[in-house]
């Protein structure tokens, strides 16, 4: 093990410039992914908050108090409904008077306003499910119609899907490019040591034993790159960006803490280094002939 670790560190020194280029490129790629993920997370969180604020307003026919209580119990029994508030005909008239500046004498003309329930739905309910619930309620006896902001709901759902697909696609492309850089660096290291590899094979060393130092080198590259990108990302969002634009100070970290994203970036960087080095070393060591 000491030999493998020593050779892994020595590989960084042998291909100094190539390793520095790989580490810089990998850290830059991870920094871009970190910035993209945090911005996308905040956009996604705001869109979810708007979607979760969508309320269903259920307008009723003329029902007596007992029927209204039964209707409220039936509405609250739905899995998607979190809470409800009843708006009587008089309350609806008062709301319209306050919003449109009508006088007391105008309330008589507002007697046509129906009583209604405002339903608050649970979090993270898909738009399709909200549409299904609204359609189901319109078929209930005692309900005249159901109103909600369908256009806003559809727009949010479309934007959420687009944001998710674009973010995933860009992230995967950047990761692939970073892994190819590690692959190319390790390939150069393997090629430079081809004579040593032949000698090791002659004395009976297995491909796994020969490959291990190169894999360690790739992991070290990923660890260094992940540490650099994590430090720069944290300082950028905590110190630099808020000075340039105070709005950046309002951004939240994923899951409420900075170390989740930072830890994920370092782990991802190590994984990319391991995959790229294992791929390159395994491929070229097998091709090396005695």
Distance CA 47, CA 50 (A): 5
Q: Are residues 165 and 21 in the same domain?
A: yes
Phi then psi dihedrals of residue 22, to 5 deg: -65, -45
Listed in sequence order, the residues at least 6 apart from 245 whose beta carbon sits closer than 8 Å to its beta carbon are none
Please state, in angstroms and rounded to a whole number, the distance separating the CA atoms of residues 209 and 114: 80
Alpha-carbon gap, residue 34 to 162, rounded angstroms: 19
Better pLDDT: 111 or 86:
86
What pLDDT score does 104 carry? 47
Q: What is the mean pLDDT of residues 90-101?
A: 68
70 token code pair:
């039964």
In a domain, 100, yes or no: yes
How many structural domains are present in the chain? 2
112: domain CATH number?
3.30.70.3040
32, 172: one domain: yes
Alpha carbon distance 236, 28 (integer Å): 13
In a domain, 153, yes or no: no
Instruction: Mark whether 39 and 75 lie in a shared domain.
Output: no
**Which comes out higher in pLDDT, residue 74 or 288?**
74
The set of residues, in sequence order, having a beta carbon less than 8 Å from that of 172 and lying 6+ positions away, is none
Provide the whole-model pTM.
Answer: 0.66
Q: Checking phi first, is residue 255 left (phi over 0); if not, alpha (psi -120 to 50) or beta? A: left
Position 191 pLDDT exceeds 80: no
pLDDT digits (tens, 9 = 90+) for 9-22: 776 677 777 778 77
Q: Are 191 and 284 in contact (CB under 8 A)?
A: yes
Residue 48 has pLDDT above 80, yes or no: no
- In angstroms, the Cα distances linking 97 to 57, 86, 113, 225 are 19, 18, 12, 63
Q: Is residue 154 part of a domain?
A: no
Domain span at 97: 55-148
Q: Are residues 191 and 108 in the same domain?
A: no
Look at residue 39 and tell me whether its pLDDT is greater than 80. yes
pLDDT band at 289 (very low <50, low <70, confident <90, very high): low
Q: Identify the domain boundary among 90, 123, 148.
A: 148
- The number of beta carbons lying within 10 Å of the beta carbon of residue 124 is 9
Helices and strands of the chain, counted as H and E runs: 10, 4
Backbone angles phi, psi at 193, to 5 degrees: -110, 25
**Same-domain check for residues 232 and 133:** no
Taking only the tens place, the pLDDT of each residue in 203-262 is 887 877 878 888 888 888 888 988 999 999 888 888 888 888 887 777 888 888 888 888
Task: Give the whole-angstrom CA distance, residue 89 versus residue 68.
Answer: 12
Same-domain pairing of 41 and 180: yes
Domain boundary (120, 148, 176) is at 148
Q: Is residue 139 part of a domain?
A: yes
């Amino acid at each position: 093990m000491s030999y493998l670790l020593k050779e892994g560190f020595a590989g960084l020194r042998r291909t100094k410039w190539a390793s520095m280029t790989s580490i810089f490129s990998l850290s830059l790629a991870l920094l871009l992914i970190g910035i993209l993920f945090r911005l996308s997370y905040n956009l996604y969180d705001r869109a979810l908050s708007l979607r979760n604020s969508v309320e269903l307003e259920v307008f009723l026919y003329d029902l007596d108090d007992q029927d209204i209580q039964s209707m409220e119990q039936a509405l609250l029994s739905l899995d998607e409904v979190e809470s409800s508030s009843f708006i009587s005909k008089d309350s609806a008239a008062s709301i319209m008077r306050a919003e449109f500046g009508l006088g007391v004498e105008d309330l008589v003309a507002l007697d046509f306003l129906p009583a209604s329930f405002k339903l608050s739905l649970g979090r993270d309910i898909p738009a399709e499910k909200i549409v299904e619930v609204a359609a189901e309620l319109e078929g209930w006896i005692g309900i005249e119609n159901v109103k909600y902001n369908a256009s806003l709901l559809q727009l949010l759902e479309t934007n959420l899907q687009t944001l998710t697909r674009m973010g995933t696609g860009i992230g995967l492309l950047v990761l692939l490019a970073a892994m190819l850089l590690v692959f190319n660096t390790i390939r150069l290291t393997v090629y430079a040591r081809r004579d040593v590899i032949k000698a090791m094979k002659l004395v009976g060393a297995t491909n796994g034993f020969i490959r291990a130092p190169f894999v360690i080198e790739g992991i070290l590259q990923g660890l260094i790159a992940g540490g650099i990108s994590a430090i720069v990302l944290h300082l950028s969002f905590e110190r630099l960006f808020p000075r340039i634009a105070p709005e950046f100070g309002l951004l939240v970290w994923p899951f409420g803490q900075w170390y989740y994203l930072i830890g994920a970036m370092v782990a991802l960087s190590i994984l990319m280094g391991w995959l790229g080095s294992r791929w390159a070393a395994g491929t070229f060591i097998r091709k090396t002939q005695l």
